[in-house]
Amino acid sequence: MKRYVKQTVLSLILFLAFYLPVAGQNEEPAYLLFQGKTEAVVSRLEPEFQSGKLSEASALVLAKAYMTENRYRDALQVLEKVNNKKQVLPLKGEVFAALGNLPAAAETYEDLVRIEPDNAEAKASLGKLYLQLDRDGKARNLFGQLVKRDSTNLFYRRQYALACYRTDQRAEAVVNYNWIVEHYPNDLSSLLNLVNIQHQMDLDIVALQLLKTGLEHFPGNIQLMKKAGELNFLGQNYQQSARYYHDVLPVDSSYVVKKYYGISLFFERKEEQALQLLQSCYQKVQTDDMVAFYIGLCLKRKAEYKESAHFIEAAIKLATPGYMADFYHHLADVYGRDRRFQDAIDCYQKALEYDSTRTQVLFDIATTYEEFNNNKTIALGYYREYLKRMGDSDNPNVDYALGRIRKIKEALFMEQ
């Protein structure tokens, strides 16, 4: 009996060893693809494609096998040979998207939607591409249609809410984000978007309540605590913002966290801790006027007045927009050309107030006084100051200023 069993098992093994490879060779490529045997599919169909003998049905199978192996360029070559648009367009759209050619992917799905206007999957893919391409209005229209068709679909709702948010349709975005947060409380990104919208609508009380509820669902979540700290800081609730940032800092020591936490600690009269954080910020960025200002205030409380003055002076200088001098300089030139000479002089003076290093403004004031206001004495003073700053420059205006000084002196002598 045992000998018979052994012979049966041996016969079965020999049968399987010879039969299975043959069976595998006879299996349809589509079934092999279903089994995940993409190498077998490629080895079977690739020679036929290269010889031009591959049917369209088999070409679609080969293209899918290439896509599974992330061989998207090869897949595209195969798909270009397929004429059945309903079958080939979804695959081509996916391939173009994978290759990073989002405009081509969008055009492909647009073609598909024209052919199949009721194809919800194609519309969803197209809408997602529109969002990636910043065509937010088109995305809103598509996902609006899809939400009307299926209002319980989370993906449609999320994309529609995002498109509304991006196109300033805040009320509609709030309605949809509220629905999402109510039905899918695990959707953290939608919750954060809803908080941001409420903040933009000056509804910080609502935003903070959402964050509180979110932290009950996601205890210790850094993103939520960081946002709660930010909103409390902006609302000047420094005690509460300091509490949030105290928990955030060990995990997120970014510049903004240190800055807001440091300023919050200053208002909590914890100057030493505040100074440590703010000085760390200042070492990284020396152009932040608020950081310099609050460092100065911390030093003031410590009675270190010289250092305090240095930082507050730096803050004042940093708080003055550099482009304001440009604005006033150009406006003065326009006033001068419009023969509004006193207005021009006033704007030139303003430009110097914002940036006293602008030597060209001195020259422009001098010519304005001399040519239009006929005040040679004041013009002479500005010409001299201009030359003093220009030094040995070869600027052609230097020669002009020297010539005008000589003429003005002669005129003033004759007037005596």
The total of structural domains in the chain comes to 1
Separation CA 147–CA 153 (nearest Å): 7
For the residues of 307-331, what is the DSSP string, one character each? HHHHHHHHHHHHHS-THHHHHHHHH
**Amino acid 15: pLDDT:** 41
pLDDT at 253 exceeding the cut of 60: yes
Domain with 330 in it: 323-415
Q: Per the domain annotation, does 280 fall within a domain?
A: no
Q: Per the domain annotation, does 361 fall within a domain?
A: yes
393 vs 217, which has greater pLDDT? 217
Separation CA 163–CA 220 (nearest Å): 29
pLDDT at 3 exceeding the cut of 50: no
Q: Per the domain annotation, does 224 fall within a domain?
A: no
Q: Per the domain annotation, does 381 fall within a domain?
A: yes
Cβ contact 274:296 at 8 Å: no
Q: Per the domain annotation, does 188 fall within a domain?
A: no
In degrees and rounded to multiples of 5, residue 75 shows phi and psi of -60, -40
Q: Per the domain annotation, does 78 fall within a domain?
A: no
- Which of 265, 318, 322 lies closest to 290 in space, CA to CA? 318
Average pLDDT, the chain: 88
Amino acid at 3: R
Determine the average pLDDT of the residues in 4-18.
40
Q: In this structure, what CATH number is given to the domain that contains residue 341?
A: 1.25.40.10
**Amino acid 18: pLDDT:** 42
Determine the average pLDDT of the residues in 33-56.
87
Determine the average pLDDT of the residues in 287-301.
94
Q: Per the domain annotation, does 352 fall within a domain?
A: yes
107 vs 50, which has greater pLDDT? 107
**Amino acid 129: pLDDT:** 97
> Which one of 27-41, 61-75, 252-266 scores highest in mean pLDDT?
252-266
Q: Per the domain annotation, does 112 fall within a domain?
A: no
Q: Tell me the H-state helices in 150-288.
A: 154-166, 170-183, 188-200, 204-217, 222-234, 238-248, 255-267, 271-284
In degrees and rounded to multiples of 5, residue 145 shows phi and psi of -65, -40
pLDDT in tens, 163-208: 999 999 999 999 999 999 999 999 999 999 999 999 999 999 999 9
Instruction: Find all residues with CB under 8 Å of 8, minimum gap 6, and list them.
Output: none
Separation CA 63–CA 90 (nearest Å): 12
pLDDT in tens, 57-91: 888 999 899 899 999 999 999 999 888 888 999 99
Cβ contact 214:221 at 8 Å: yes
